[in-house]
């Protein structure tokens, strides 16, 4: 069993927030691969189905971001999962918009959702870091991530979620570097990504 977790805040007013791109990505994975229906489970909503040959649970915590770990811990305990079985999709202000990086473990860089998850299950889970850019000043970060994507940003947000969903089976198979590169190439092909070669990391060992 694999657990894919999208991070975000619940409620209609947060749907389009930069902080909610983890929700958007995981919802698109469910849609693309016919996984559903969503049901209320584990202090959130979840659906289950096959992905890349693996039985997979998709989870959107129904708590606010800073309590995300509660939902993740409930699901992990129920299915007896280790951190190695868990992948978390989240917004990353330290990456340029539309850039994706995959890593296992590491710091939380002030992200309240990651902090909560690490407090509940430890730090050695996989993260799909989805770049949303930085407002330039630390004091503006809170408002920046809790604001909606600008109209001009929506094309890359939709294209990136589509590319993530299209290549999600690679994640399920542990091919992190291949996933990262395929997403990069898909964005370049749509004219929405940086054209320089993506840095490479070995599959199954993205740190």
SS3 202: coil
- Average pLDDT of the chain is 93
Say what percent of the chain tops pLDDT 70: 93
Contact 203, 177 (CB under 8 A): yes
Q: Which pTM does this prediction carry?
A: 0.93
- pLDDT band per the 50, 70, 90 thresholds, residue 206: very low
- pLDDT band per the 50, 70, 90 thresholds, residue 7: very high
Contact 59, 121 (CB under 8 A): no
Q: Is residue 12 pLDDT above 70, yes or no? A: yes
Within the chain, strands assigned E span 2-6, 39-41, 44-51, 54-61, 86-92, 100-104, 126-131
Chain segment 32-90, per-residue pLDDT in tens = 999 999 999 999 999 999 999 999 999 999 999 999 999 999 999 999 999 999 999 99
* Tokens standing for residue 83: 């951190």
Quickly list DSSP for 9-56. --SGGGTTBGGGHHHHHHHHHHHHTT----EEETTEEEEEEEETTEEE
Residues annotated as catalytic are 19
Chain segment 163-199, per-residue pLDDT in tens = 999 999 999 999 999 999 999 999 999 998 665 555 5
């Amino acid at each position: 069993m694999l657990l894919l977790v999208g991070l975000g805040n619940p409620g209609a007013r947060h749907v389009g927030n930069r902080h909610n791109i983890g929700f958007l990505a995981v919802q698109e994975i469910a849609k693309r691969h016919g996984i559903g229906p969503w049901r209320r489970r584990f202090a959130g909503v979840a659906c289950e189905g096959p992905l890349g040959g693996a039985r997979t649970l998709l989870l959107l915590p129904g708590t606010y971001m800073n309590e995300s770990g509660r939902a993740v811990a409930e699901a992990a305990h129920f299915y007896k999962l280790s951190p190695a079985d868990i992948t978390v999709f989240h917004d990353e202000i330290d990456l340029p918009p539309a850039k994706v990086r995959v890593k296992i473990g590491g710091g939380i860089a002030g992200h309240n959702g990651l902090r909560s998850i690490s407090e509940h299950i430890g730090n050695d889970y996989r993260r799909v870091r989805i770049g949303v850019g930085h407002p330039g000043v630390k004091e503006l970060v809170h408002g920046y991530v809790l604001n909606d994507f600008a109209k001009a940003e929506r094309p890359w947000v939709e294209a990136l979620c589509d590319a993530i969903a299209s290549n999600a089976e690679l994640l399920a198979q542990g091919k992190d570097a291949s996933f990262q590169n395929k997403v990069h190439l898909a964005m370049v092909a749509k004219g929405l990504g940086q054209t320089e070669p993506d840095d490479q990391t070995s599959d199954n060992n993205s740190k």
